[in-house]
Amino acid sequence: MIVVMDQTSAPELAEDVAAALRAEDMQVLRSRCHGRAHLISTGTAPRGLAERIRPLPGVESVVDTEDALRFTGRAYQRADTVVDVAGVPIGGPAFVVVAGPCAVENRAQMGDSAHGVALAGGAILRGGAYKPRTSPYSFQGLGRAGLRLLAEQREVTGLPIITEVLDVADLDDVLEVADILQVGTRNMSNATLLRAIGRSGRPVLLKRGMAATIEEWLLAAEYILSEGNPDVVLCERGIRTFEPATRFTLDLSAVAAVRRISHLPVIVDPSHAAGRTDLVRPLALAAAAVGADGIMIDIHPDAATALCDAGQALHPKELAELTADLGRLLTATGRVLAVPPPRPMPARPRALATEGV
């Protein structure tokens, strides 16, 4: 059960409600979302408890769910969540194209990529400074130097930045640059990282673990939401199956299924799913057709020299062709491509302090 307290209610009233829940042997977790105190009870609620809690002073609403998907489920929020990434809404009517190199390599490569994304009509710029590589002997990313190159391109192009945070130890540095934090497939189950990101209050793109069920993926999102951060975008990036022709198997049915279960926006990464340049375009179009809220695409100005995932990067020109195709497909379905935020860009929100109830 989730008890949502009225925005203007005194903190003591939340205390009284917590006491009433504890008196029924419920354990109570506290959170804050959309400016309201939330009391999340765990344990099996006795019959009629929701009805007894609902009229208590200061209570705005009670979501009577024993479902583990307390915050991510449609029972908690019927309407779609729209996540505002420095002026780019993800989850509304507009389809968002996120693009950039897999890894930030140097100033020229990042500059050419950012220029290409802006020209192609992309709305958000990606680039990995901390790379979770399968092999410890592969390029691991430029770290803080990579973050600085991303910050430069934010200034030059006005595009919001998405970049991966691998470790809680790097979170403060990444928060200096990222308008939206990326949690990669290998970290989807890193509860410590998810909690810290939840407390940061910054929007987050949560990639699906390569062997995670939809429920496990949404439970990972619960770690972030239950810490008071409602701004989670899910990203389907392919799952491990028996099929070796593609790097992973893009599970487009998960996009349609998640949209039924959850109010959170979902985007698709066809680059990491297929691992093959020639499949990126058809899978990106399929993502738009199945109802995804956007796509994330790897590009590189000179893929032959790419230090990371060379086999899946589009040339910036190919990205422009893809966005043109997407534009036509979206028009046919009554949607449009998202545009970058107007200049000057909105100030990046500072990392929020943890709010208690």
Residue 104 touching ligand PEP (CB under 6 A): no
Which of Mn ion, ligand PEP, none sits in contact with 237, Cβ below 5 to 8 A by type?
ligand PEP
Residue nearer to ligand PEP on the CB measure, 222 or 309: 309
Q: How far is the CB of 185 from ligand PEP (least distance, A)?
A: 4
Residue nearer to ligand PEP on the CB measure, 199 or 237: 237
Largest Cα separation within the chain, whole Å, is 65
Q: How far is the CB of 256 from ligand PEP (least distance, A)?
A: 20
Tokens 């024993």, residue located:
66
Single out the residue of 223, 218, 217 nearest to residue 200, CA to CA: 223
Neighbours of 353 (CB within 10 A): 9
Please list the residues that pair with 158 across neighbouring strands: none
- Per-position b or e across 308-332, b if 16+ CB within 10 A of its CB: bbeebbbebebbbebbeebbeebee
Name the residue whose CB lies closest to ligand PEP: 184
- Answer for which of 102, 287, 306, 337 binds Mn ion (CB under 5 A) is 102
Residue nearer to ligand PEP on the CB measure, 138 or 192: 138
Residue 184 touching ligand PEP (CB under 6 A): yes
Q: How far is the CB of 54 from ligand PEP (least distance, A)?
A: 42
Single out the residue of 183, 178, 180, 185 nearest to residue 195, CA to CA: 183
Q: How far is the CB of 70 from ligand PEP (least distance, A)?
A: 26
Single out the residue of 97, 106, 99 nearest to residue 306, CA to CA: 106
Kindly state the tokens that stand for 278.
Answer: 């020639």
Residue 218 touching Mn ion (CB under 5 A): no
The amino acid sitting at 159 is L
Which of Mn ion, ligand PEP, none sits in contact with 259, Cβ below 5 to 8 A by type?
none
Residue 185 touching ligand PEP (CB under 6 A): yes
The CA distance from 126 to 146, in Å, is: 12
Q: How far is the CB of 107 from Mn ion (least distance, A)?
A: 20
Which of ligand PEP, Mn ion, none sits in contact with 185, Cβ below 5 to 8 A by type?
ligand PEP
Q: How far is the CB of 309 from ligand PEP (least distance, A)?
A: 7
CB within 8 Å of 41: residues ≥ 6 apart: 1, 2, 3, 21, 26, 27, 28, 29
Residue 237 touching ligand PEP (CB under 6 A): yes
CB within 8 Å of 249: residues ≥ 6 apart: 238, 239, 240, 241, 243, 273
Residue 206 touching ligand PEP (CB under 6 A): no
Residue 309 touching Mn ion (CB under 5 A): yes
Residue numbers at the binding site for ligand PEP (CB under 6 A): 102, 128, 132, 164, 184-186, 207, 237, 269, 272
Residue numbers at the binding site for Mn ion (CB under 5 A): 102, 309
